[in-house]
Amino acid sequence: MTMRTFRIWRGDATGGEFKTYKQETGEGMVVLDVIHRIQAEQANDMAVRWNCKAGKCGSCSMEINGKPKLACMTRMNLYHPDETITCQPVKTFPIQKDLASDVSWNYEQNKKIQPFTPKPRDPDGKYRMSQADVDRVQEFRKCIECFLCQDVCHVLRDHERHDAFVGPRFLIRLASLDMHPLDTADRIPKIKEEYGSGFCNITRCCTEVCPEHIGITDNGIIPLKERVVDRFYDPIMMLKRKLFGGC
Amino acid sequence: MSPSTLTGGHKAGLAQTLRADSWWTGPALTATILLGFITYSTWAAFQANHYWVDGGAEGFGGYLSPFYSPVLLVDTQAEGSVPAHHSWFGEKPDWWPSSLPFSPAFLILAFPGAFRFTCYYYRKAYYRTFTGTPPGCSVGAVPQKKYKGETSFLIFQNLHRYALYFAIAFIFILSWDAFQSYFRGGKIGIGVGSVVLTLNVVFLSCYTFGCHSYRHLIGGKMNRFSGCAIVQTRHRAWQGCSWLNTRHMLFAWVSLFGVALTDVYVRLVSMNVIKDFNTWN
C-alpha cells in the first residue's frame, strides 16, 4: 500500500474548488477505485458517476491530470508515486456536482438525426449484406457514448459552437448510417448544414482520447467530409450528376 | 476563484491546461521541421542552379532534383541546369522581366505545395502548431468571437482532391526521372543518385496513394463492397489504400525529408562537392 495525493474538484454550477485528499492505494487499482475509497472514507457526499467499471458503459468520463479519460480504465501505475493526481469534471458540459456533468445536450443532438431507414426486404423477406459491406460500419458501433470525444473537441470545448456542430460522436453515428449498405436516407445536406461537418478542422483529438480506439477522424469524419465535397464542392462531380443523374 | 479559472477548475485562455505532460513538444517539433523545410526549399528554388547532374548522354540519364521536375522552362546559362531539349517548353522566354528572378522551380512548386497544404494530416499539424485551434488536446485554443472552422475562409480545403490529381501526375513524372537515372550513354547501370531518386518516388507514392481523398475516390465513397468484379477490385484498392492511410503521417514526414534530401544530394553532386558512386565510372 502506498499513500497517494489526489486533488478533486468539489462544487457545483455556482462554483467550487479543488480539495486535496491523501489516500492509501493498493496494487492494480485504477483511478476510479481510489475515488471510491476517498468517497467511502473521507468524502461521503462526493458525486461521481460510474456503472460498469469495465470501460463499457462510458459513465465515468472525467479529466485526469488535464486529459479526458475514463476513470475506470486509468491505472494508477501510469503515474509516478509522488505525482499528485488531479480529477475534474469534463469541461464541455455543465457541471451538476463535483465530478458529475450534465451530458443531456448529446441526447438532444442524437434526436436530430434521421434514424436507420432500410430499403425494402428481399422477396423472401430477408435483408442481405456481406461481411465486407458491414466491416467498416461495425467499427463505429463500438462507441460507448462516453462523450470524451465531445469533451475534447475544441469546437465545443473552447469555441462553444454547440449551436452549429453536433460533435465527433454524432458525426460517427452519421457515418455509420450513411455508409450502411441497406440504408436509403440522404443525410449529406444536413451533415453539411445542420450538423456542421465543416466546423471540424481534423485536429484529431477526438481520435486520441477514444477509449474504444475508433478511427473517428480517418474512418468517420474525413469520409463524411469527402462525401460532402462530392455533393457541394467538386465541380466535376456536380457536372456528372447534372449529366447522368444520381445524388 | 481567479478570473482565468472556470467552474470545474478548468483554465481559460490560450494554451491553458492542467496537463502535466510535455504537450507542446509535438507542435514545437512540427514548427521546427516545417519552417526548416520551407526555408530550405525556398532557398533551393531561388538558387535556380545545380539541380541537374549530367549523365553525359545529352539529357537521357543523369539526376534531376525533384524541386525542379518537370523543367517547364530553363535558363541554360545557369550552372548545373538541364540542356534546353530536356525542358518541356524550351528556354526561358526573352520577354521574362530582368527584374523578376527566374527559376524553373517557381513554375511547379505550387502544385506539390498545394497538395501538402490541403492534406488532411498536415492540416492537423499546422492547425495545432500555427493557428492554435487547438495547440494540443484539452489545451486552450486561440479565443475567437465566432469560430467557423473550414466553413468560411478555409472552405478551399474542400478541393484537396484537385491538388491530389496534380500530385499523382508528379508521381509519374518523378518515376520517369528515376527510371532515366539508370541509363547513361545507352548503358544500363546504377548509382547512389539512382537509388536516392527511386527512394524519393517510393516515399512520395506511399504518401500520395495513402491520401484520404484518394481513399474516398478509389472506393470509400461506395456503401457496398460486394458485387461485380469492378466493385471487388475497388474494394481491394480501398483496402490497400487504407493500409497506407493508417501510415499517412509517417509517409508525410518521410517523403518531406526525402524530397529535401534528394535535392541536397543532387545539388552537392552537381557542385562537385561529393562524388556519386556508380557503375558507369
On whether both A7 and A119 belong to a single domain, the answer is: no
Pick among B23, B145, B223 to test the A interface (most A CBs inside 10 A): B223
- Residues A139, A220, single domain; the answer is yes
Burial of B159 (0-12, 13-18, 19+ CB in 10 A): middle
Tell whether A85 and A150 lie within a shared domain. Answer: no
pLDDT of residue A108: 98
Identify whether residues A109 and A136 lie together within a single domain: yes
**pLDDT, greater one: A53 or B184:** A53
**Do A97 and A13 lie in a common domain?**
yes
Residue A65 has what pLDDT? 97
Same domain as A225, residue A143: yes
Is the CB of A88 inside 8 Å of chain B's CB atoms?
A: yes
CATH number, residue A86 = 3.10.20.30
- Mark whether A185 and A72 lie in a shared domain: no
Residue B135 within a domain: yes
Task: Say if B38 falls within a structural domain.
Answer: yes
| Sequence-ordered list of residues with C-beta below 8 angstroms from that of A142, at least 6 positions apart, any chain | A212, A214
Residue A247: predicted pLDDT: 61
Number of folded domains that form chain A: 2
Q: Chain A: give the shortest CA distance to residue B135, in Å.
A: 9
pLDDT higher than threshold 80 for residue B1? no
Task: Please check whether residue B128 lies inside any domain of the structure.
Answer: yes
To the nearest whole Å, the CA of A180 is away from the closest chain B CA by 6
Inform me whether the pLDDT recorded for B58 exceeds 70: no
CATH of the domain at A120: 1.10.1060.10
* pLDDT for the residue B57: 57
A54 and A127, same domain (yes or no) = no
Structural domain contains residue B15: no
Instruction: Give the end of a domain, one of A101, A116, A138.
Output: A101
| Per-residue model confidence (pLDDT) at position B2 | 44
Q: What is the 3-state secondary structure (H, E, C) of A92-117?
A: CCCEEECCEECCHHHHHHHHHCCCCC
Q: Residue A192's domain spans which residues? A: 104-244
Q: Is the pLDDT of residue B60 over 70?
A: no
Are residues A96 and A60 part of one domain?
Answer: yes
ipTM above 0.90, yes or no: yes
CA distance B29 to chain A (A): 16
Pairwise CB contact (< 8 Å): A227 & B154:
no
**Nearest residue in B to A90, CA atom:** B8
Residue-wise pLDDT tens digits, B244-261: 999 999 999 999 999 999
| Facing A198 at nearest CB: one of B1, B144, B150 | B150
Asked whether residue A68 falls in the same domain as residue A114, the answer is: no
pLDDT higher than threshold 90 for residue A1: no
Number of domains in chain B: 1
Search chain A and give the residue with CA nearest B120.
Answer: A202
* C-alpha angle B193-B199-B202 in degrees, rounded to nearest 5: 145
Residue range(s) defining the domain that contains residue B179 = 25-141+155-210+247-270
End of a domain among A48, A82, A101? A101
The C-alpha atoms of residue B196 and residue A213 are separated, in whole angstroms, by: 37
Mean pLDDT over B237-248 rounds to 98
Render pLDDT for A187-202 as a digit per residue (tens, 0 to 9).
Answer: 999 999 999 999 999 9
Q: Are residues A140 and A229 in the same domain?
A: yes
As given in the structure block, the three cell numbers for residue B46 are 531561388
Q: Which residue, of A101, A119, A145, is where some domain finishes?
A: A101
